[in-house]
């Protein structure tokens, strides 16, 4: 099976930003598009940024065993569809999963060979600034995400690799080094 890379860490730490940079540097690497019950943000497209599902549609897929992992996060549901992952890995295409910590733990159980990377903020204050600065979440949601982040940050040592996302370019380079070293040609 092709390599699976799990990129986890608190909301706002920069996972999506790092992954966008990574995909442009590592040829052949693809992102698995997650499913969620949260509403699309301005500019987000169904099937591109997420598969946007209703609660009923999500629950039906849970019952059908369609998820590799799924979790409740900040009042919404998120999950990795088996179809998204397997259609890539079956064809030998390495895949990145951008997921929160509960989901990453599930993947560690079901896919023990997956490479797990935890992205660490330079400080909790920087994390707050990034979440507020992104401007996508209400202040209540930012507070909920920061509360979850406190707990998530205590889990960093569970993960095989940790990358501090302080200066973006440095973090992208470190992440690329990890990914290249874990690919068959690395
Ligand atoms: N190294 C960095 N320095 C400063 N700002 C950054 C850095 N990396 C990312 N950001 C900014 O922080 C904000 C959050 O980044 P991003 O959306 O990539 O986080 P995320 O971890 O993917 O969040 P979520 O888990 O909620 O999807 C964005 O506005 C992004 O531009
Ligand atoms: N367990 C999973 N977590 C996921 C998945 N896709 C995204 N996420 C994580 O959820 C939070 C919130 O995301 P946002 O887009 O609302 O900011 C964040 O930590 C994502 O990484 C998934 O498939 N499974």
Radius of gyration of the chain (CA): 16
Q: What is the CATH number of the domain that holds 12?
A: 3.40.50.300
In the reported structure, the alpha carbon of residue 168 is separated from the centroid of ligand 1 by a whole-number distance in angstroms of 9
CA distances from 89 to 79, 132, 138, 168 (A): 17, 36, 37, 29
Q: Does 186 score more than 70 pLDDT?
A: no
CA 56–ligand 1 middle distance (angstroms): 30
Looking at the structure of the chain, the number of domains it has is: 1
- Residues in CB range of 51: below 8 A, 6 or more apart: 33, 34, 35, 36, 81
Containing domain of residue 75, as a range?
4-182
The protein residue whose alpha carbon is closest to atom 9 in ligand 1 is: 14
pLDDT of residue 113 exceeding 80 = yes
Average pLDDT over residues 113-119: 98
Is it the case that residue 58 has pLDDT exceeding 80?
Answer: yes
Average pLDDT, the chain: 97
ipTM for the assembly? 0.99
Q: Is 13 annotated as a binding residue?
A: yes
């Amino acid at each position: 099976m092709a390599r699976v890379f799990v990129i986890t860490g608190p909301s706002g730490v920069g996972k999506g930003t790092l992954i966008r940079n990574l995909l442009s540097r590592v040829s052949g690497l693809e992102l698995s598009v997650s499913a969620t019950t949260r509403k699309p943000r301005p500019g987000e497209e169904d099937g591109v940024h997420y598969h946007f599902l209703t609660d009923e549609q999500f629950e039906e897929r849970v019952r059908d065993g369609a998820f590799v992992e799924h979790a409740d996060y900040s009042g919404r549901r998120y999950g990795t569809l088996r179809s998204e992952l397997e259609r890539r890995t079956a064809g030998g295409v390495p895949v990145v999963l951008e997921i929160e910590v509960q989901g990453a733990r599930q993947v560690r159980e079901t896919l023990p060979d997956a490479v797990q990377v935890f992205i660490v903020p330079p400080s909790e204050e920087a994390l707050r600034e990034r979440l507020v600065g992104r401007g996508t979440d209400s202040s209540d949601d930012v507070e909920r995400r920061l509360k979850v982040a406190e707990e998530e940050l205590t889990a960093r040592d569970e993960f095989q690799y940790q990358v501090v996302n302080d200066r973006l370019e440095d973090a992208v380079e470190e992440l690329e080094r990890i990914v290249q070293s874990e690919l068959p040609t690395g």
